[in-house]
Amino acid sequence: MAHVIRSICIVGGGTAGWLTAGIIAARHGSEDGNGIRITLIESDTIGTVGVGEGTWPTMRTTLKKMGVSETDFFRECNTSFKQGAKFARWVTGDPADFYYHPLVLPEGFPSLDLASAWMEYAEKRQDAPSFSNAVSYQEAVCELGLAPKLITSPEYAGIANYAYHLDAGRFVSFVRDHCVNRLGVHLVVDDVTRVIRNEAGDIAYLETRKSGQLDGDLFIDCSGFRSLLLGETMGVPFVDCSDVLFIDRALAVQVPYDAEDSDIVPHTVSTAQKHGWIWDIGLQSRRGVGYVYSSRHTTADAALGELQAYVGEEHRSLQPREIKIHAGHRRTFWKGNCVAVGLAGGFLEPLEASALVLIELSAEMISGMLPATRETMDIIAKRFNATTQYRWDRIIDFLKLHYILSKREDSRFWIDNRDPASIPDSLKDQIELWRHRAPGDQDFTSNAEMFPAASYQYVLFGMGFRMDTSDREPKGHAGAVEQAFARNESLKIKWTKTLPNNRNLINKIKEFGLQKI
Amino acid sequence: MHLVELSRAEHSGLKIDPDLAEASAARQHLIPVVASEFRKAAIQYPIVFAKHPETGRFGAYVLNGLEPEENLFWTGMKMDVAYVPLNIRRRPFFVGMADSPSGANDNVLCIDIDSSCITASGQKSIVDADGSDSPYLKEILSIVRRLVDGQKHTDSFINTALSLDLLCPIVLDIVLEDGKPLHVEGLYSIDEDRFRALDKESIEILWNEGLMDLIYSVIISTGQIFNLVRLRNERASLNRAWRGNDN
């Protein structure tokens, strides 16, 4: 007789555990008990890592599908808007060196290729606008500290595409409350003492300190770096990626604002340093700042000095928290009846905020493909592994892209990062193609793509990558291209005039709320 | 506009012409209304809901035009309508909560001393010769009271409608007779399909709170949009004729 999947047991109550529980419960749970029973075991002795504070725009759909109100999310999670990232001092290291990776796609993308037209123009004119400024209005909106929507915009709807900055600790409690009170997820507060496998190698049940045995048809490992189920129990080895991505330490600190009404920067600022880079994320009540660096290239003391120089003399007394990072992931992500989500599956430096989005995508995929029986689970596991591996590879490529385009020479960290031996072949191949034409959808043909070709355009041309299109036939759509540039200019005027100050809008959302429609 | 708190002593000498109040709505396409007006308003205007630009909160309005600053009922002399909303008739008097987003100064009667209704040829004063409130002021006070009381009822109607997911955006894609396309956004109405699909418990809530009449008034009033389109077409052809004569 078929072994029907009726219950899911999630181990670990961090962001990964609760988001996964929420995503699956919103689709498969039910109040009448006919759905899948979802249990989450959370330790009250093990803390969470809690530095995942930047999301992708996907989080809007994720929260909406879970039935969360965006107004509540702003009120309870210290939430603010994120309209992409500003990369400072990545190219030359000069104080004036910066570029944007906005979330709004280039005007007319993907049917129009503004990148080639911009490059042609930029090569002739010294005063040409930056690529992102020429093709999108969002850089201008960000530079003015404006929000991506209006108080009259419905929940989750934006004028400019947006994601969030959030307080990871508060976010976990917020999602936990929603899962337990609204989505019927069963919470067990306890520690797992032993994981028991059956003769087929599957996880049979968990032994706990106080709550006896916990069983399940599918176990989801959200235990963090420890990877209790997938790594320790199922023995899936870790694939180290530190030969490509050198960052292995983070020093994180919370920086208060000067005043209660200080502006909230509406994008992530990533500022390159001598041996890594510093993230700077503006929440409502504080900034989250952290230096991620390579311990093979510098010492903890030197890194601390750079971080202190960044946050300024007045914040010298703040004590940063050190987090060890192991760049890499498990060889497979789903084995037997166990699948890992979040840090238990792997971790990469937060340069493109890939941690939370990978949790969402993995949980969404588990939820969407949830096998009906144990017998069909291995088929699903195979697909899940292929897709997830592809996603990790694309993220690694994209992160590495930022390093290989840098022209910084001020340390071995930057020079070593451009060593061809450290660059994945898949990325080398793409770069070769892009020497002659702009990244386009033809370069990204999987339905599991992480970054649109537009993201590659923003980074490549933001970082001064040279593309020679003289050997190619002119496209013959010059009129449409000119119109698109003009349209972007008028959108820039319109939205910089209309959109409100970022903090003002957040204050209004907290006071009046956003409407659902 | 310059609002000051009304003082019977200080403002006793003001001469007011209430007929000029309607002129202040000449360029207003949305006029706020309260629930107690819905039935009368429905015979003339589409009743719609729109968000306050400063708070995003919904209010109830009658629609006078198909574009911002357009009032198709304004003839140049008066509003050619069977029912003039209380929010026009109260002018040049104001109550904090009716127009301000904060509502901080509610229940304070104010007067706009810049209003064109205040004119030497005005026949109305706020106090009679003996210093008592004039019938005109009594009428204004009665209108204002109806607005203040009505606002609470209107807000609770909107909140109930929202909690039952009964509001939905109206998308108006109109092609006028002269071929000009008109896309009207930012207006909301009652979602009839959802209303008709409500379960018994929800219907009971609406019934017990006395909101059924309001919902039907809104639904029926929607047809008045055709009248606005008709007026708009007439105005356009008059304009064309005018320009034709002018040339």
Distances from the Cα of B50 to the Cα of A425, B56, B184, B190, angstroms? 55, 9, 12, 12
Q: Residue B247's pLDDT is what?
A: 41
- pLDDT, one tens digit per residue, over B26-61 is 999 999 999 999 999 999 999 999 999 999 999 999
Q: Give the span between the Cα atoms of A176 and A187, in whole angstroms.
A: 9
Which residue of chain B has the CA closest to A498? B53
Residue A226: pLDDT over 60: yes
Could you give the percent of chain A with pLDDT greater than 90? Answer: 89
Write the residue in A512, A516, A517 that is nearest to B55 by C-beta: A512
* Confidence at A33, pLDDT banded by 50, 70, 90: low
- Mean pLDDT computed over A169-193: 97
Which residues in chain A have their CB less than 8 angstroms from residue B48's CB? none
Residues facing A441 on adjacent strands: none
pTM, two decimals, is: 0.92
Which residue of chain B has the CA closest to A504? B54
The answer to whether the Cβ–Cβ distance between A512 and B58 falls below 8 Å is no
Which residue of chain A has the CA closest to B164? A516
Q: Give the span between the Cα atoms of B217 and B232, in whole angstroms.
A: 23
Q: Of A200-214, A314-328, A413-427, which gets the smallest average pLDDT?
A: A314-328
Q: Give the span between the Cα atoms of B22 and B214, in whole angstroms.
A: 25
* Confidence at B122, pLDDT banded by 50, 70, 90: confident
- pLDDT, one tens digit per residue, over A227-236 is 999 999 999 9
Long-range contacts, stretch A493-497, CB < 8 angstroms, 24+ apart: A495/A137, A495/A140, A495/A141, A495/A146, A495/A159, A495/A160, A496/A137, A496/A140, A496/A141, A496/A144, A496/A146
Query: Does B163 reach chain A within 8 Å, measured CB to CB?
Result: no
Q: Residue B101's pLDDT is what?
A: 52
Write the residue in A152, A514, A517 that is nearest to B168 by C-beta: A517
Query: Does B58 reach chain A within 8 Å, measured CB to CB?
Result: yes
Helices (H) then strands (E): counts for chain A: 15, 21
Residue B96: pLDDT over 70: no
Using the structure block, give the residue that is written with the tokens 């898949």.
A426
Could you give the percent of chain B with pLDDT greater than 70? Answer: 94
Please state whether beta strands A334-335 and B181-190 pair in parallel, antiparallel, or not at all (unpaired): unpaired
Which residue of chain B has the CA closest to A152? B56
* Confidence at B182, pLDDT banded by 50, 70, 90: confident
Which residues in chain A have their CB less than 8 angstroms from residue B54's CB? 151, 508
Query: Does B169 reach chain A within 8 Å, measured CB to CB?
Result: yes
Q: Give the span between the Cα atoms of B6 and B96, in whole angstroms.
A: 12
The answer to whether the Cβ–Cβ distance between A517 and B169 falls below 8 Å is yes
Q: Residue A475's pLDDT is what?
A: 63
* Confidence at A474, pLDDT banded by 50, 70, 90: low
Based on its alpha-carbon atoms, the radius of gyration of chain B, rounded to whole angstroms, reads: 20
Q: Residue A285's pLDDT is what?
A: 96
- Mean pLDDT computed over A322-327: 92
Residue A51: pLDDT over 80: no
- pLDDT, one tens digit per residue, over A67-78 is 999 999 999 999
Interface predicted TM-score (ipTM) over 0.90: no
The answer to whether the Cβ–Cβ distance between A513 and B56 falls below 8 Å is yes
Could you give the percent of chain A with pLDDT greater than 70? Answer: 97
- pLDDT, one tens digit per residue, over A331-372 is 999 999 999 999 999 999 999 999 999 999 999 999 999 999
Q: Give the span between the Cα atoms of A87 and A119, in whole angstroms.
A: 20
- Mean pLDDT computed over A99-126: 92
* Confidence at A177, pLDDT banded by 50, 70, 90: very high
What is the length of chain B?
A: 247
* Confidence at B3, pLDDT banded by 50, 70, 90: confident
User: A residues 113-142 near B, CB within 8 Å?
Assistant: none
CB atoms within 10 A of CB A444: 18
Q: Calculate how close chain A gets to B155, using CA atoms only, in Å.
A: 14
The vertex-A232 CA angle with A226 and A236, nearest 5°, equals 105
Residue B100: pLDDT over 70: no
Which residues in chain A have their CB less than 8 angstroms from residue B167's CB? 517
State the burial class of residue A167 (Cβ atoms within 10 Å of its Cβ: 0-12, 13-18, 19+).
buried
Contacts for A218 with CB less than 8 Å, ≥ 6 apart: A5, A7, A8, A9, A337, A338, A339, A370, A377
Residues facing B70 on adjacent strands: none
Query: If residue B112 lies in a helix (H) or strand (E), which one and from where to where?
Result: strand B109-112
Tokens of B213: 């009449």
Considering chain B, what is the average pLDDT of its residues?
A: 89
* Confidence at A221, pLDDT banded by 50, 70, 90: very high
- Mean pLDDT computed over B8-17: 87
Query: Does A150 reach chain B within 8 Å, measured CB to CB?
Result: yes
* Confidence at B102, pLDDT banded by 50, 70, 90: low
Hey, is B127 helix, strand or coil? strand
Which residue of chain A has the CA closest to B168? A517
Query: Does B168 reach chain A within 8 Å, measured CB to CB?
Result: yes
Q: Give the span between the Cα atoms of A195 and A375, in whole angstroms.
A: 22
Phi, psi of A393 (to 5 degrees): -60, -40
The answer to whether the Cβ–Cβ distance between A514 and B51 falls below 8 Å is no
Tokens of B125: 């004063």
Nearest Cα residue to A4 out of A366, A371, A373: A373
Q: Residue A29's pLDDT is what?
A: 81
Residue A52: pLDDT over 80: no
Give the number of beta-carbon pairs within 8 Å between A and B.
34
Tokens of B16: 């007011």
Residue B106: pLDDT over 60: no
CB atoms within 10 A of CB A95: 8
CA atoms within 13 A on the CB side of B82: 8
Nearest Cα residue to A137 out of A170, A109, A178, A104: A104
Which residue of chain B has the CA closest to A151? B56
The answer to whether the Cβ–Cβ distance between B168 and A513 falls below 8 Å is no
Q: Give the span between the Cα atoms of A347 and A331, in whole angstroms.
A: 13
- Mean pLDDT computed over B140-158: 94
Considering chain A, what is the average pLDDT of its residues?
A: 95
